[in-house]
């Protein structure tokens, strides 16, 4: 919790020193493609990017009756996400996946972002869907922008900014296996400068049956989540603050259909607070600065014969991201950025099979983007320094150790449009 409070205080203090910039925005030509913010260091048209980017808009999910991020992935990106008993869900792209455990700072190959900033979990179930505005999915390596955890791709969950007239919705449902769900949300502008969004959901279900009619024992559980955003806007400057919390209460952890664990239980509590400050100038320059902090608590109750007892896994993480964009006229656009992540992982109990760990990851990167009438070229390079230390706990007895190493990655891609609708990317 200290990391979250410290993160919030730092960004609010820094905001008072950032000069307001004046930016004029012109309407984008529809032939340029949709504007996205994940596949490049700065916002860009999908037509100018060599990466494959998919956008899942809020309007699409509302029409489909989708109420969670897992449902959105299953509907629009078949095979990219799988839900598992015990609240474990992860994201898979091209054979690589995010890590759904309490900590995924080093274990990911698909990175989960919230408003363009790293999440310490790869579990999309941790994010309240009520405050999600859109989802951007980048298929393919994104290591230059987000580090080695994005080798398979990146998923950016963008939260609501509270635009337009205030509006809200509420709903409830009941279905098979005594599944009950309820949700409510409210969002909109308070005035010309302030916008807000808030919402939450609750759900429970009993043991479910497989397609063949087999009852999957110990798969019941209850969950609740809530989220809130506040956005302050002036001409050329935006401050966006997001807070989320999700809890899974005393849920079953049944194992596999073949090897059932009929009485094991799990509980999950995830909290995040983040703040992002963006400025744009009329000369085309930009600064994006963000801070975030998270708590991730996971409890596992093993009622089996081998290692009965309770185990607790805790991850506290905080990070910052700073990106400066510079317009170079006909020479294109240059972006320089840095990332820093600090995490602490602790485990205690009878089912612990990993040591405690402290990780520090610092990265710097540069990206150049040039766009012509038909040809667009984007190149980037990144260097990351990793420092980790391991310590003993109740399950692992080992001498304290630490290690540091560096890693460099680079990428180059181009897009060439033969006609307005036919192009080549690579």
Measured CA to CA, the distance from residue 296 to residue 394 in angstroms comes to 19
Pairing of strands 153-159, 110-114: parallel
| Residue-level pLDDT, tens digit, the chain, 426 residues | 444 444 444 444 444 333 333 233 333 333 446 888 888 988 898 888 998 899 999 998 888 888 888 888 778 876 666 665 545 677 777 766 666 665 556 667 788 899 999 988 877 878 889 999 999 999 888 889 998 888 888 889 999 999 999 999 898 888 776 788 899 999 999 999 999 999 999 988 777 666 666 666 666 778 899 999 999 999 999 999 999 999 988 776 666 656 666 667 778 899 999 999 999 999 999 999 999 999 998 888 877 666 788 888 899 999 999 999 999 999 999 999 999 999 999 999 888 888 999 999 999 999 999 999 899 999 999 999 999 999 999 888 999 999 999 999 999 999 999 988 888 988
Q: Which residues of 333-362 are buried (b: 16+ CB within 10 A; e: fewer)?
A: bbbebebbbbbebbbebebbeebbbebebe
Coil/strand/helix, residue 343: strand
Structure tokens that stand for 105 in this block? 């700072």
Torsion sign, CA atoms 40, 45, 48, 54: positive
- Res 381: pLDDT: 98
Measured CA to CA, the distance from residue 256 to residue 250 in angstroms comes to 18
Coil/strand/helix, residue 73: helix
Measured CA to CA, the distance from residue 269 to residue 6 in angstroms comes to 20
Cα 71 from chain centroid? 16
Domain ranges within the chain, ordered by starting residue: 2-12+36-425
Instruction: Tell me the CATH number for domain 2-12+36-425.
Output: 2.40.170.20
Cα 131 from chain centroid? 13
Measured CA to CA, the distance from residue 95 to residue 144 in angstroms comes to 20
- Name the E strands within 328-422: 333-349, 356-371, 375-391, 401-417
Measured CA to CA, the distance from residue 128 to residue 273 in angstroms comes to 13
- Res 141: pLDDT: 85
* CA separation, residue 314 to residues 127, 174, 246, 360 (Å): 18, 34, 15, 17
**Contact assessment for residue 261 and residue 246, using Cβ atoms and an 8 Å cutoff:** no
């Amino acid at each position: 919790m200290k990391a979250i409070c410290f993160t919030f205080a730092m960004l609010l203090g820094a905001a008072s020193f950032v000069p307001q910039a004046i930016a004029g925005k012109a309407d984008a030509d529809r032939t340029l493609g949709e504007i996205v913010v994940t596949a490049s260091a700065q916002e860009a048209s999908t037509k100018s990017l060599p990466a494959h980017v998919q956008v899942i808009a809020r309007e699409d999910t509302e029409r489909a009756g989708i109420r969670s991020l897992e449902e959105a992935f299953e509907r629009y990106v078949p095979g990219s996400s799988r839900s598992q008993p015990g609240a474990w869900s992860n994201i898979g792209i091209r054979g690589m996946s995010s890590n759904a455990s309490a900590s995924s700072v080093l274990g990911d190959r698909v990175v989960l972002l919230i408003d363009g900033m790293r999440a310490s979990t790869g579990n999309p179930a941790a994010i309240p869907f009520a405050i999600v505005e859109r989802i951007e999915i980048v298929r393919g390596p994104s290591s230059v922008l987000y580090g080695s955890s994005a080798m398979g791709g990146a998923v950016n969950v963008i939260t609501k900014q509270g635009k337009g007239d205030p509006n809200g919705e509420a709903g409830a449902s009941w279905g098979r296996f005594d599944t009950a769900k309820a949700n409510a949300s409210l969002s909109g502008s308070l005035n010309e400068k302030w916008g807000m969004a808030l919402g939450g959901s609750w759900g429970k279900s009993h043991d479910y049956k497989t397609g063949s009619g087999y009852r999957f024992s110990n798969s019941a559980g209850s969950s609740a989540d809530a989220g809130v955003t506040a956005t302050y806007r002036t001409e050329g400057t935006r401050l966006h603050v997001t807070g989320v919390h999700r809890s899974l209460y005393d849920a079953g952890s049944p194992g596999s259909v073949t090897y059932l664990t009929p009485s094991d239980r799990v509980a999950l509590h995830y909290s995040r607070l983040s703040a992002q400050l963006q400025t744009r100038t009329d000369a085309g320059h930009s600064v994006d600065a963000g801070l975030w902090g998270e708590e991730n608590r996971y409890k596992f109750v093993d009622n089996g014969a081998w290692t009965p007892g309770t185990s607790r896994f805790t991850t506290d993480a905080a990070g910052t991201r700073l990106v400066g964009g510079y317009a170079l006229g006909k020479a294109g656009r240059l972006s320089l950025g840095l990332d820093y992540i600090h995490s602490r992982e602790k485990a205690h109990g009878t089912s612990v099979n990993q040591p405690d760990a402290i990780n520090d990851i610092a990265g710097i990167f540069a990206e150049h983007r040039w766009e012509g009438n038909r040809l667009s070229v984007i190149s980037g390079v990144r260097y990351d320094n990793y420092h980790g230390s391991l310590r003993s706990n109740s399950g692992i007895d080992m001498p304290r150790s630490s290690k540091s190493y560096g890693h460099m990655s680079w990428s180059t891609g181009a897009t060439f449009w033969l006609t307005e609708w036919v192009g080549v990317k690579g």
